[in-house]
Amino acid sequence: MNATSRGSPQARLTRERIVAEASRIVLSEGADALSMRDLAGRLGVSAMALYNHVGDKGDLVRAVTSSALRDLKLPRAEDWREQLRLVFRAVRDRCVENPALPRLIERADLREPKLFEPMEVALAALAKAGLTGADALRAYFLLIGFTMGHVAYLIGGPFRALDLSRAISEGKLNPVAFPLTVEVAASAADWNFETAFEFGLDTIIAGLERGRD
């Protein structure tokens, strides 16, 4: 009986199984942990067997990214302000559910239409607010930049050099030289990322609304 006989791991191997296992690795260990050799070992096959179903690692990364985006839902609202909130909450929540997604999108040579759906819905909302062309594009990138920056901070924590709590605990910030910074540091102890995200969205949307006048 050869290696591809009925019931063997290689015989049961499909593109769907490969992508599902790769997605599990990415979700639990991060995008940079994905390797063809390790993936093959987990599936009980040789690395070469994978290439009967995926073109190369780039193809696999694209497939994993597409899988992570497949069921992304973007709720709709009539009011343009609420529509923007719904779109960027959905993007944020998906990235929090799958922390590897921003890195996957960065690495994948992918022009997946699903990636552009939040942009299309956001631009439609901005058009209702009277923003079109370059102004609409600037507003979109302001919102997506804020959202992805928030996600990066939530998942990875502050940049080590800008960790306020540690700077104060290590005596790096003199209260005389940095009175306001030291004063607000107490707020970081019970920081709520959800509240901070909503505050940021509301602030940007309020600015966009004032810009219409």
Own/partner long-range contacts of 79-82 (Cβ < 8 Å, ≥24 apart): 80/125, 80/126, 80/128, 80/129, 81/125, 81/129, 81/205, 81/209
CATH architecture for segment(s) 9-69: Orthogonal Bundle (1.10)
Position 6 pLDDT exceeds 60: no
pLDDT at 3: 46
- Between 10 and 193, residue with greater pLDDT: 193
Asked if the 80-211 domain carries CATH number 3.30.2350.10, the reply is no
Position 1 pLDDT exceeds 50: no
The two tokens of residue 78 are 């009539």
Residue with tokens 């990636």: 115
Which of 57-71, 74-88, 156-170, 171-185 has the largest mean confidence? 74-88
All structural domains of the chain with their residue ranges: 9-69, 80-211
Residue 124 CA to residue 84 CA, distance in Å, equals 9
The predicted-structure confidence for 135-169, as pLDDT tens digits, reads as follows: 999 999 999 999 999 999 998 887 788 888 888 88
pLDDT at 187: 80
Residue with tokens 């602030």: 203
What string of DSSP letters covers 144-182? HHHHHHHHHHHHH-S-GGG-HHHHHHTT-S-TTTSHHHH
pLDDT at 146: 97
The predicted-structure confidence for 100-136, as pLDDT tens digits, reads as follows: 888 888 877 767 788 899 999 999 999 999 999 999 9
The predicted-structure confidence for 182-201, as pLDDT tens digits, reads as follows: 998 878 777 899 999 999 99
Q: CATH topology of 9-69 equal to that of 80-211?
A: no
The predicted-structure confidence for 22-66, as pLDDT tens digits, reads as follows: 989 888 888 788 899 999 999 999 989 999 999 888 888 888 888
pLDDT at 4: 52
* Alpha helices in the chain, H assignment, sequence order: 9-12, 15-29, 36-43, 47-50, 57-69, 80-97, 101-107, 113-128, 133-156, 164-169, 179-184, 193-211
pLDDT at 127: 97
CB 8 within 8 A of CB 43: no
- Between 157 and 89, residue with greater pLDDT: 89
Neighbour-count burial for 89-115, b at 16+ CB within 10 Å, e otherwise: bbbbebbeebbbbebbbebbebeeeee
CB 64 within 8 A of CB 23: yes
